[in-house]
Amino acid sequence: TTTWAAKGRKTKTLTVSHAFHSPLMNPILEPFKKAISKLTYHTPTIPLISNLTGQPADNHITTPDYWTQHIRQPVHFHPAITHTA
């Protein structure tokens, strides 16, 4: 944050309870997938950009696999934002 603040950018350190998207999440992936496997998923009714791909979401977003991958994979924020521009 110091580097960005020195460049005049506003920064804020986030306080989080878990190291989401890191290897520290690996132990909960299977229990999480099992816990959400009985949920009913629906295709979004409005356009939605996937943080896994940075592209419009497809039917994969309606699966437990997508949400399990979302815990561990990097967030593609920049591609998602530039896709909407």
What would the pLDDT profile of 13-38 be if each residue is shown by its tens digit?
878 887 888 999 999 999 999 999 99
Q: Which long-range contacts (CB under 8 A, 24 or more apart) does 50-56 make?
A: 50/76, 50/80, 51/75, 51/76, 51/77, 51/80, 52/76, 53/79, 54/78, 54/79, 54/80, 54/82, 54/83, 55/79, 55/80, 55/83, 56/83
What would the pLDDT profile of 33-84 be if each residue is shown by its tens digit?
999 999 999 999 999 999 999 999 999 999 999 999 999 999 888 888 888 7
**Could you tell me which residues are beta bridge partners of residue 56?**
49
Full-model pTM:
0.75
